Amino acid sequence: MTLLTLDQVNALDAGAFAAAFAAVYEHSPWVAGQAAALRPFASVTAMAATFAGIVAAAGDDAKLALLMAHPDLAGRAAVRGDLTAHSRLEQASAGLDSLTAEEMAAFTRANADYRLRFGFPFILAVKHWGKAHILAAFRGRLDNSPAAERATALAEVDKIAFSRLLALIEPAPGGRLTTHVLDTARGRPAAGLGIELARLEGGAETVVRQDVTNADGRLDQPLLAGAEMAVGLWRLTFSAGEYFLASGQTLTAPAFLDLVPIRFHIDNPEQHYHVPLLVTPWSYSTYRGS
Amino acid sequence: MTLLTLDQVNALDAGAFAAAFAAVYEHSPWVAGQAAALRPFASVTAMAATFAGIVAAAGDDAKLALLMAHPDLAGRAAVRGDLTAHSRLEQASAGLDSLTAEEMAAFTRANADYRLRFGFPFILAVKHWGKAHILAAFRGRLDNSPAAERATALAEVDKIAFSRLLALIEPAPGGRLTTHVLDTARGRPAAGLGIELARLEGGAETVVRQDVTNADGRLDQPLLAGAEMAVGLWRLTFSAGEYFLASGQTLTAPAFLDLVPIRFHIDNPEQHYHVPLLVTPWSYSTYRGS
Amino acid sequence: MTLLTLDQVNALDAGAFAAAFAAVYEHSPWVAGQAAALRPFASVTAMAATFAGIVAAAGDDAKLALLMAHPDLAGRAAVRGDLTAHSRLEQASAGLDSLTAEEMAAFTRANADYRLRFGFPFILAVKHWGKAHILAAFRGRLDNSPAAERATALAEVDKIAFSRLLALIEPAPGGRLTTHVLDTARGRPAAGLGIELARLEGGAETVVRQDVTNADGRLDQPLLAGAEMAVGLWRLTFSAGEYFLASGQTLTAPAFLDLVPIRFHIDNPEQHYHVPLLVTPWSYSTYRGS
Amino acid sequence: MTLLTLDQVNALDAGAFAAAFAAVYEHSPWVAGQAAALRPFASVTAMAATFAGIVAAAGDDAKLALLMAHPDLAGRAAVRGDLTAHSRLEQASAGLDSLTAEEMAAFTRANADYRLRFGFPFILAVKHWGKAHILAAFRGRLDNSPAAERATALAEVDKIAFSRLLALIEPAPGGRLTTHVLDTARGRPAAGLGIELARLEGGAETVVRQDVTNADGRLDQPLLAGAEMAVGLWRLTFSAGEYFLASGQTLTAPAFLDLVPIRFHIDNPEQHYHVPLLVTPWSYSTYRGS
């Protein structure tokens, strides 16, 4: 599907805008309806924040109605084929459309426990998770206080909305993925170290970039920029073993470390993801920087 | 091949011992010959250290002769099929028996440069490396001073000898692999976190253990112990995403981290490898502990 | 003041127990009153958890009354000299009894803003903080939702109660402070590294222990154990520079690192605090382990 | 003493240059003599590298003579008052001019052991170390092979020379000290965190800068730049406790971390020192970046 540009979004007449984004909040077109007047949006991130702000400013009854408008995960509506188009795709991407009888029983039980405790359906932005993750999230949230859990559920609704907006609108440019490798055994940038970036999707791996660090331990270009910043799972692999051999560091045979893989998700294609590696022949660390 | 036990090694008569380990140092049976009288050995590690001590105590001429006794990597002896059995297997495991013409040219050039500078063949314990690693090691060592490089070459010879001893003798018990997961965002052990251990060998992956951390963030049993401690490449995979969801931590959708893989080599099956993970939803580190 | 032992606490008749701990929850003797029947307690930690559980199980009105029973920090009651003995000491230890006019104005404003938003007084376990910390905490909590903030305030009340119990009862044995130093540049325990432990209190520093790591990078004895585990501020100082020099690692002149100080609080003397150091000549990390 | 500028150094006639830097290598004016023709130098770092290159290219006899030209640390020449001006100051700054009888005995023994093993005096760039460091360095180097130790000794001579050049010439601009604070519990820059920089010298501490991180977790200006980059010991102190309170993170009372001090040396005022902090309420790490 062709994505709208932000310019197009900002230029829509109010009715067309409300229609285009009516389904972003489940069965709750009023959110998009109110957002029309709050344009222009400089980014999908800003647009999603505006939508979320409208929800946050709504009354408790409207919030509860919004939560209640969501279907159970792997619940009756799903079984009946009664989901919204968005929800069907989201649940399918988490594998919820192909549960074993045992798994279905586990979800039915979890949904029931949750509803009994909180009075509204369990909501989770499931698109990039599997069944085990979702059951873990059930466990993690059942002990929350009712007030904390309502806040958590609304935050999930906002994440789902952001994800739905990203399915409709081309992200603002500016997002990028960069890295930096420090040799913390020697206190210097790791120069000449090979890096491979792969996209992991549906069990398949696609190498999208191979590069070598410069004298500052960085790459001359971002690993990803602009439209390349796809939401989802990525893997950076650092050729630490070759680097250590080329730098003459003392190693065992075989060395403790060779290829260092780092798997991470990009959730917001408009942001800067800086994923550095601090490495010695015996240790490493990484973090989301910016 | 059935491995000797350390008890058997310690009980051999001196001549049989010398014969059994004559090939451990390339074309240099005198090392094993002298080692016979230094038994008993409590471990292969101790035995290798004794052999290395004999070499270290030898004169400069004997050391140089030992270095000179080694074949070039992917060199003429290899091409002629003129390698010792040990060397042939070691070079083959690094893929040196199947080089393209271009790769062969690169090795020939590197061997020549190295010999010209240092006067003896390039020696590297190659068994767990590939071609790119070996060429990286050439680069890393060409700038060494002659004295430093001679020391480095002898250290590689000792590593090769240790590897050859491990191919003949059953390791002493006591080696083991353990882990520990700390949730450094919350300052507590990561309890209930799934861990998978896989053996990576020849492009294939074999899952050998799946377990879940206890209340202290550890496993009740070592991941590997005793005879399971195979030299080579392993991968631990930590189910951080499920853990974070179950612990109710605030995440993006998708979360930055989900599965955290750590690839590492075991080089000495008689040692304790402690490979912990310190993790937050946004960062992690690991190191070889003990 | 002589502390009660847990045995004594467990042996008190119910009335004496209720009287002894009536002031643990501010103006709320009912908490101790209900706790008497839930003895024996194996530790102050367990006793505090029981008290907190009684509060958690109380109705919303009782919880709100408990919050309302607290005085403002640096508020009118403090100025009038109208605080409970516990509160007076706690506020004084944070320096709230000696504010400048400007500081007093800042606290008055912050208290008013907070009460206006949440309807109950700002509560914080202040005993080990200074004025700037407390004003930072005001800022950090003003944006909370009312429900989240009520939960936070109750959690602070529980922390204050734990602190008051520790002022009355001798902790259970078992608490201890340990460390471990890993040389992550060389992948081995840092042996022979000097460590100093100092108590920091009221601007003064008292060195309480000096020791040197053993072959495993640990100390043969805990740094602190049992009654030595005083709540408050401590500093470990690791003599990394001497260690690196003695280990022959390549350093600049002067080296990047020499003494590595780590300041930390002990909040619970019944727990195990493991405070390790992972260090190279160019980097280090530490964490609360257990 | 007024420092020369690099422009002045580059403009000196050859004889004046040779005279000005004759003492940079101990009793070895030939080094400066040869360096005159290799100007201009863009930095003291480049100038020192040129001097070191001249030494590296000299014959083995000249190198040994250079090593032999150095006095023992706390040795007979020092006792007799027979040191060069440079050496006297350097040894005094390490406290070697005020040893107890016992310490003097330890140094005399260490010097003798070292000379016996290697045939030349023990050389160490001592200016920023104390006695214990120097004795640690003796221990660390006695086990080196003669060839490795000769290389180490020459490297120390080069470090001493760099330090002597810095005592004579104004550094090139461009050196600076920066920091960056990441909140790795929440995956974002730590904004609004207070930082203090102090100079530690001769037992005294002088606070030279206090600042607060911006939205990116950095400071708007370098902590030090240009002429402020004094070689020696510095301490950064990060107000992590206030930051955590202001960010509403869950803490114990008292929190595990409050002020986080990082002590480090600057050895080269012409370089960029990036000293970041990655911090959670329960852990932190730092490293020399660039």
For residue A220, count other CB atoms closer than 10 A to its CB. Answer: 9
Cβ separation of A253 and B267 shorter than 8 Å?
yes
| DSSP run (H or E) holding A262 | strand A259-266
**Structural domain boundaries in chain A:** 6-166, 176-286
Average pLDDT of span C245-266: 95
Given a cut of 80, whether residue D1 has pLDDT beyond it is no
Counting as contact any 3 or more CB pairs under 8 A, the partners of A are B, C, D
Q: Please give the CATH topology (third level) of the domain spanning C6-166.
A: UraD-like (1.10.3330)
pLDDT at position D160, please? Answer: 97
Q: Distance between CA B234 and CA B268 in Å, rounded?
A: 13
Cβ separation of A283 and C186 shorter than 8 Å?
no
Average pLDDT of span A41-68: 97
Percent of chain A with pLDDT over 90: 88
- Where is pLDDT greater, at D76 or D265? D265
Counting as contact any 3 or more CB pairs under 8 A, the partners of D are A, B, C
Average pLDDT of span B268-282: 97
Q: Distance between CA A193 and CA A212 in Å, rounded?
A: 5
State the average pLDDT for chain B: 95
Average pLDDT of span C104-118: 95
Q: Distance between CA B133 and CA B154 in Å, rounded?
A: 19
pLDDT at position C221, please? Answer: 97
pLDDT at position D117, please? Answer: 96
The pLDDT tens digits of the residues spanning D64-93 come to 999 999 999 988 888 888 899 988 998 898
D151, D250, D280 ranked by CB distance to B280: nearest: D280
Given a cut of 70, whether residue C1 has pLDDT beyond it is no
DSSP A233-250: EEEEEEEHHHHHHHTT--
State the average pLDDT for chain D: 95
Min mean pLDDT across A130-139, B84-93, D185-194 is at B84-93
User: Would strands A224-225 and A272-274 be described as parallel, antiparallel, or unpaired?
Assistant: unpaired
Q: Please name the residue of chain C whose CA is at the shortest distance from the CA of residue A278.
A: C283
pLDDT at position D119, please? Answer: 96
Asked, as a colleague might, if the bond just before D254 is cis with ω within 30 of 0, I would say yes
B144, B246, B259 ranked by CB distance to A139: nearest: B246
- In CATH, the number for domain B176-286 is 2.60.40.180
The pLDDT tens digits of the residues spanning A213-245 come to 999 999 999 999 999 999 999 999 999 999 999
The answer to whether A7 and A39 are in contact (CB under 8 A) is no
Given a cut of 80, whether residue C9 has pLDDT beyond it is yes
Q: Distance between CA D265 and CA D125 in Å, rounded?
A: 14
Instruction: Look at residues D244, D242, D258 and name the one whose alpha carbon lies nearest to residue C267.
Output: D258
Given a cut of 70, whether residue A1 has pLDDT beyond it is no
For residue B113, count other CB atoms closer than 10 A to its CB. Answer: 14
The pLDDT tens digits of the residues spanning C58-109 come to 999 999 999 999 999 988 888 888 899 988 998 898 889 889 999 999 999 9
| HSE-CB for A101 with a 13 A CA cutoff | 0
Residue A77 makes CB contacts below 8 A (sequence gap 6+) with: A71, A83
Q: Choosing among A268, A275, A278, which should be mutated to test the D contact, i.e. which has the most D CBs within 10 A?
A: A278
Q: How does residue B235 score in pLDDT terms, banded at 50, 70 and 90? A: very high
Q: Do domains C6-166 and C176-286 have the same CATH topology?
A: no
Cβ separation of A163 and B253 shorter than 8 Å?
yes
A283 contacts in C (CB within 8 Å)?
184, 187, 278
The pLDDT tens digits of the residues spanning A58-91 come to 999 999 999 999 999 988 888 888 899 988 998 8
The pLDDT tens digits of the residues spanning D197-238 come to 999 998 899 999 999 999 999 999 999 999 999 999 999 999
Given a cut of 70, whether residue B1 has pLDDT beyond it is no
The pLDDT tens digits of the residues spanning D28-76 come to 999 999 999 999 999 999 999 999 999 999 999 999 999 999 999 988 8
Average pLDDT of span B20-39: 97
Cβ separation of D184 and A278 shorter than 8 Å?
no
The answer to whether A147 and A193 are in contact (CB under 8 A) is no
C148 contacts in A (CB within 8 Å)?
147-148, 151
Given a cut of 80, whether residue B193 has pLDDT beyond it is yes
The answer to whether A287 and D278 are in contact (CB under 8 A) is yes
The pLDDT tens digits of the residues spanning C23-65 come to 999 999 999 999 999 999 999 999 999 999 999 999 999 999 9
| DSSP run (H or E) holding D145 | none
Q: How does residue B227 score in pLDDT terms, banded at 50, 70 and 90? A: very high
